[in-house]
Amino acid sequence: MKKKIALLAVATAMSAAALGMVAGAEESKGVIGVAMPTQDLQRWNQDGSNMKAQLEEKGYTVDLQYAGNDSATQASQIENMIANGDQLLVVASIDGDSLGTVLAQAKEAGIPVIAYDRLIMNTDAVSYYATFDNYLVGKTQGEYLVEALDLENQDGPFNLEIITGDPGDNNVNFFYGGAMDVLQPYIDEGKLVVPSGQISKEEVATANWATDAAQSRFENILSSNYADGTPLHAVLASNDSTALGVVNALAANYSNDVYPIITGQDCDIANVPHILDGTQAMSVFKDTRALAAKVVEMVDAIMAGGEAPVNDTETYDNGTGIIPSYLCEPIAVTIDNYKEALIDSGYYTEDQLQ
């Protein structure tokens, strides 16, 4: 009995704090739970801090949690958010398929859920999805390779290797799908060849999008298929953390005169120097400030009892039906436009990229 009362006191104190009702605090417009996957990769730190700053500016209290890329941790963080009385949840999932049970609790409690960047699958608790146009990200990478290799005019064959991200991340289906819709016809035609034979989505996945896993997979690919002097012409890498693993593997295990054209995504600080020195050809830039701003707009509309702005009601079916979505636009960044896209826009300072 004593224990129960003590727990109740803790819970009450927690929700009072969460609701911004601590002495001296201005009255909050409500508590928004923001569940982010990991602090290991640069972008999620930016997403989290952009969301927190922009929501606070609008008068909300923010309950921001990172889950160390562990889906059980993320589920229990969300459970706590619900128990603490958070009024709306913004969730960038780790494993899109593992949040059904906890989000059913959110639905039961009448708490709206916005899936952030990654779609949450097989649950009817998701009200909205906000992301970049993920199919366009993959298509942009594929088209970049087609142009850079001049596949329309050259016969090749050119050697290509492929790497994507975590199989639990629904975005992978769109990144891989968008790129392969462009590249597959050239593979079928024989202009593009994949010497490792690793082409299927399962074979080219990278657990947790980890740079070291990408690096060791490519060390194996290079020693098994390219050690005899076979040139590697191109690498379709779905994002920058995996592209970095490829660049690292090449630096130590590949000395051919032909250096591959490598794609990426996010314009991570660690990758921009590679774009500048030519060891990574391009990255797809997704301005996380724009995504955060859009999600804040959505939150504000929902909290006011209205409908959130969306611009896509066809593409993202999470297994329970189409989730109304807002898709922000990604852009291709190379050495030619990085200054305008990344520095003039105020995303990075020149110093950060030294």
Contact positions vs ligand BGC (CB under 6 A): 41, 43, 117-118, 165, 169, 171, 209, 239, 241, 265-266, 286
Amino acid at 257: D
Q: How far is the CB of 281 from ligand BGC (least distance, A)?
A: 17
Using the minimum distance from each CB to ligand BGC, give the nearer residue, 19 or 119.
Answer: 119
Using the minimum distance from each CB to ligand BGC, give the nearer residue, 135 or 338.
Answer: 135
Amino acid at 304: A
Q: How far is the CB of 329 from ligand BGC (least distance, A)?
A: 14
Using the minimum distance from each CB to ligand BGC, give the nearer residue, 259 or 348.
Answer: 348
Nearest in space to 133 (alpha carbons), one of 125, 141, 145, 124 = 141
Q: Determine the Cα angle at 265 with ends 348 and 75, to 5°.
A: 95
Give, for 237, the enclosing helix (H) or strand (E). strand 234-237
- The whole-angstrom separation of Cα 157 and Cα 191 is 4
Closest residue to ligand BGC, judged by C-beta, is: 239
Using the minimum distance from each CB to ligand BGC, give the nearer residue, 128 or 209.
Answer: 209
Q: How far is the CB of 169 from ligand BGC (least distance, A)?
A: 5
Q: How far is the CB of 2 from ligand BGC (least distance, A)?
A: 45
For 37-55, the DSSP string reads S-SSSHHHHHHHHHHHHHH
Q: What DSSP character marks residue 305? A: T
Using the minimum distance from each CB to ligand BGC, give the nearer residue, 159 or 171.
Answer: 171
- The whole-angstrom separation of Cα 229 and Cα 156 is 17
Q: How far is the CB of 122 from ligand BGC (least distance, A)?
A: 17
Residue 75 to residues 15, 126, 266, Cα–Cα distance (Å): 19, 15, 26
